[in-house]
Amino acid sequence: MKRMIATVLASVAFAGAAFAADPVEGIWQTKPDDNGNFGHIEVKPCGPAFCGTLIRAFDGTGAQIESPNVGKQIVWDMMATGDGNYEDGKVWSPDRDKTYNSYMVLQGDGLSVKGCVLGICRDGGTWRRVQ
Q: Where are the domains of the chain?
A: 23-129
C-alpha 75/C-alpha 113 separation (Å) is 10
Phi first, then psi: what are they for 105, rounded to 5°? Answer: -130, 125
Instruction: Decide: 18 and 10 in contact? Cβ < 8 Å.
Output: no
Q: Predicted confidence band at 5 (pLDDT cuts at 50, 70, 90)? A: very low
19 pLDDT more than 90 = no
Q: Does domain 23-129 have CATH number 3.40.50.800?
A: no
Predicted local confidence at residue 20, as pLDDT: 60
pLDDT digits (tens, 9 = 90+) for 99-122: 999 999 999 999 999 999 988 898
Instruction: Decide: 74 and 89 in contact? Cβ < 8 Å.
Output: no
What share of the chain in percent tops pLDDT 70? 85
Predicted local confidence at residue 120, as pLDDT: 87
6 pLDDT more than 50 = no
C-alpha 13/C-alpha 17 separation (Å) is 6
Closest Cα partner for 29 from 41, 16, 44, 11? 41
In whole numbers, what is the pLDDT of the chain averaged over residues?
Answer: 87
Torsion angle of C-alpha atoms 119, 109, 62, 72, degrees rounded to 10: 50
Of the ranges 13-17, 32-36, 103-107, which one carries the lowest mean pLDDT score?
13-17
